[in-house]
């Protein structure tokens, strides 16, 4: 992975969320961070970084984790990842009970690092096939919050499990519900977001007024009622590495992809 920046007109920060304790993947993740698990002989987070560094204008990448896994990520940065332009942002938590939640971690990092730029945010357990430059292009054209959605094509799989969206004919978010009992569609959120810096003040407002700090979908559900949010729908592969079954499926898929 070489050179994040070339000649660009617009700067952006990137955040990879890697602070969860991944209890559903124990014992693999009991003392080890999920984003460093290997898929196709490469850490999940490396797959994500390889996509991020192709985007012109990203001048800093933050890996947001916790004190428990700090050493693991520092070791990974030392031996495998491109160190320049990548910083670890460590939240002051050591176990599940005191974690900030994904929304809380994003807010903590933004305040701690005094970020005042557009922000690309990707969950560190995401493996996806879409071209991240297409995602960024959609954002730069609209300059509004953009969320990546995957059509899982099975409404029963959406129920009580994923962030779920209803888009209008021009891909604006009309409704968004986190883990719905009655899904709106088969489109699910993939924890890939881009927010303009103007939306950061709304994150401040959310943190002051709402108490749901975990899944970012709760913020999206609130945000789309405040301002226009755009959906980016893709049909390439996507894996949410949240279980042993999902990890095995992703490893099998990427092994086949490597053969081809």
Crossing angle for the helix pair 200-209 and 101-113, to the nearest 10 degrees = 130
**Euclidean distance between CA atoms 132 and 245, whole angstroms:** 26
**Euclidean distance between CA atoms 214 and 183, whole angstroms:** 20
**Tens-level pLDDT at each residue, the chain (260 residues):** 444 443 334 689 999 999 888 888 999 999 999 999 999 999 999 999 999 999 999 999 999 999 999 999 998 887 665 556 899 989 887 777 667 788 889 999 999 999 999 999 999 999 999 999 999 999 999 999 999 999 999 999 999 999 999 999 999 999 999 999 999 999 999 999 999 999 988 999 999 988 777 788 899 999 999 999 999 999 999 999 999 999 999 999 999 988 87
Alpha-carbon distances, residue 36 vs 28, 115, 231, 260 (angstroms):
11, 26, 29, 25
Any bridge partners for residue 149, and if so which? Answer: 189, 233
Confidence at residue 4, expressed as pLDDT on a 0 to 100 scale? 44
Task: Answer for the pair 69, 79: CB distance below 8 angstroms, yes or no.
Answer: no
For 19, how many CA atoms within 13 A lie in the half-sphere containing its CB?
32
**Euclidean distance between CA atoms 227 and 172, whole angstroms:** 10
The domains found in the chain, sorted by start residue, are 1-129 (3.90.550.10)
**Euclidean distance between CA atoms 260 and 246, whole angstroms:** 21
DSSP code string of 176-191: EEES-SS-S-SEEEEE
Residues 6+ apart with CB under 8 A from 182: 159
Confidence at residue 257, expressed as pLDDT on a 0 to 100 scale? 87
Confidence at residue 147, expressed as pLDDT on a 0 to 100 scale? 97
**Euclidean distance between CA atoms 145 and 133, whole angstroms:** 15
Confidence at residue 5, expressed as pLDDT on a 0 to 100 scale? 40
The three-state secondary structure class of 59 is strand
């Amino acid at each position: 992975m070489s050179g994040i920046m070339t000649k660009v007109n617009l700067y952006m920060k990137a955040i990879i969320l890697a602070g969860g304790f991944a209890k559903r993947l124990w014992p693999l993740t009991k003392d080890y961070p999920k984003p460093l698990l290997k898929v196709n002989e490469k850490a999940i987070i490396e797959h994500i970084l390889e996509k991020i560094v192709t985007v012109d204008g990203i001048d800093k990448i933050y890996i947001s984790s916790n004190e428990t896994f700090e050493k693991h990520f520092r070791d990974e940065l030392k031996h495998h990842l491109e160190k320049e332009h990548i910083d670890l942002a460590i939240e002051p938590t050591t176990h599940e009970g005191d974690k900030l939640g994904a929304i809380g971690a994003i807010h903590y990092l933004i305040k701690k690092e005094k970020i005042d730029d557009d922000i690309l945010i990707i969950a560190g357990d995401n493996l996806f096939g879409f071209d991240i430059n297409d995602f960024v292009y959609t954002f730069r054209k609209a300059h509004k919050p953009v969320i990546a959605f995957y059509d899982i094509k099975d409404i029963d799989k959406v129920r009580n499990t994923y962030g779920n969206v209803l888009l209008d004919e021009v891909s604006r978010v009309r409704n968004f519900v986190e883990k719905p009992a009655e899904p709106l569609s088969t489109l699910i959120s993939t924890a890939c977001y881009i927010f303009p810096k103007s939306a950061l003040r709304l994150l401040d407002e959310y943190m002051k007024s709402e108490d749901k700090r975990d899944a970012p979908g709760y913020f999206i559900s609130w945000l789309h009622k405040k301002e226009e949010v755009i959906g980016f729908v893709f049909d390439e592969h996507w894996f949410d590495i949240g279980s042993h079954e999902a990890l095995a499926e992703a490893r099998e898929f990427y092994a086949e992809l490597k053969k081809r």
